[in-house]
Amino acid sequence: PFFKEYLPKNPAVLPELSAKLNANENPYGPSPMAVEAFKNSATGGNRYAWKELFQLVEKIATYEGVESKNIMMGPGSSDLLEKTAMVFFMNGGNVVSADPAYMSLIRVAESVGATWKPVPLKDDWSHDLKAMEEAIDDDTKLVYICNPNNPTGTMTDATELLDFCSRVSEKVPVFVDEAYLWFLEEEDQKSMVDLVKEGKDVIIARTYSKIHGMAGLRVGYVVALEETLGRIQKITRGGMGITLPSVYAAMAAMDDAAFIEKSRTLNAECREYVYKSLDKMGIEYVPSYTSFLIFPIEMQGNDFLEKMTELKVGVRAFQFMGKNWCRVSMGTMDEMKMFTAALSKVLV
């Protein structure tokens, strides 16, 4: 595998940051409606939230156009990625994914005994679906696709992906992580959920952590076939880790269209600002469909992180495709200005 992340020297000592651009969080959220719902429901926290969770599941099922039996909830989608990995790979096998990819499911799969079969992204940063299909063998238990992809912020064409998932899921389940899909304009949000409606063994993960700004409130879900969810939930229950106020916050967040639109618009404005700033510095970047973007750095990753952190700007650094990369999340415009000021000091 080519993928490597540079980690700060001592992650236990988290520095004070003026611009926290290292975790793809929404700088504007949670939505005011979600905060209100969270506060108002806190006094109900002496009770388990099963009834309320079921209301949320119904609401999501209606939104996704599936039945409630096709939804599994988790405290963030991480929980669902990791539970899926534990259940699918507890007897070994391999997971096919792009390289680089979002590593949460893959790392857990490896930890319980699976091997990772990484397939490099193509030159245009899309998934090499042909090579991924060829990489599937008798030991492959799951294919993982993150679209748009993290850490690259890039997209694979929805029509090609639909075709891939539809065909490949006849042999092996395909997990599609759509954490950032909501950052696309509505008409461009081509989810793979329709495949579940057609009875295909595709698992789609979505989260309230990103466009809804609820990373710290922890709500996410997957949409999948009832049998597939049954396989996972036989071993480890969904939904048990979500607090009652978070359930109410998620329901309110779904209704706050104005906040979602604001997040999408301001995120796109910040991306444009960063593109222009990088252009001026003569740095090439990878155009992004998400709330973060990457660009190559002519510097050792740890040195880069250390220097940016000294200037109180938090970013991430990776190595893949033979280069070092910075991944910067879109914060507020003020934070992006701090970022570009720090970058011009560090990279000269």
Check: CB of residue 142 under 8 Å from CB of residue 175: yes
Task: Indicate the helix (H) or strand (E) that contains 169.
Answer: none
The one segment of 32-40, 73-81, 90-98, 259-267 that binds ligand PLP by CB under 6 A = 73-81
Closest separation in Å from C-beta 81 to ligand PLP = 6
Taking the least distance from each CB to ligand PLP, the nearer of 277 and 290 is 290
- Give the interface size with ligand PLP as a residue count (CB under 6 A): 13
Q: Does 263 bind ligand PLP (CB under 6 A)?
A: no
Residue with tokens 């789609």: 204
Using Cβ positions, the residue closest to ligand PLP within the complex turns out to be: 76
Closest separation in Å from C-beta 221 to ligand PLP = 9
Q: Does 100 bind ligand PLP (CB under 6 A)?
A: no
> Do strands 323-329 and 202-207 pair parallel, antiparallel, or not at all (unpaired)?
unpaired
What character string, x for contact with ligand PLP (CB under 6 A) and - otherwise, covers 201-240?
A: ------x-x-----x----x--------------------
The two tokens of residue 218 are 């922890």
Taking the least distance from each CB to ligand PLP, the nearer of 5 and 303 is 5
Closest separation in Å from C-beta 134 to ligand PLP = 24
Taking the least distance from each CB to ligand PLP, the nearer of 128 and 178 is 178
Map residue 237 onto helix, strand or coil.
coil
Taking the least distance from each CB to ligand PLP, the nearer of 27 and 346 is 27
Q: Does 27 bind ligand PLP (CB under 6 A)?
A: no
Map residue 264 onto helix, strand or coil.
helix
From residue 298, alpha-carbon distances to 173, 283, 285, 302 in Å are 39, 10, 13, 12
| Beta strands per DSSP E along the chain | 4-6, 19-20, 71-74, 94-99, 115-120, 140-146, 174-177, 202-207, 220-223, 292-297, 313-314, 316-320, 323-329
Check: CB of residue 117 under 8 Å from CB of residue 140: yes
Taking the least distance from each CB to ligand PLP, the nearer of 146 and 253 is 146
> Do strands 316-320 and 323-329 pair parallel, antiparallel, or not at all (unpaired)?
antiparallel
Length of the chain in terms of residues written = 348
Q: Does 291 bind ligand PLP (CB under 6 A)?
A: no
Other C-beta atoms closer than 10 Å to the C-beta of 24 total 22
Taking the least distance from each CB to ligand PLP, the nearer of 161 and 346 is 161
What residues make contact with ligand PLP under the rule CB under 6 A?
A: 24, 76-78, 102, 146, 150, 177, 179, 207, 209, 215, 220
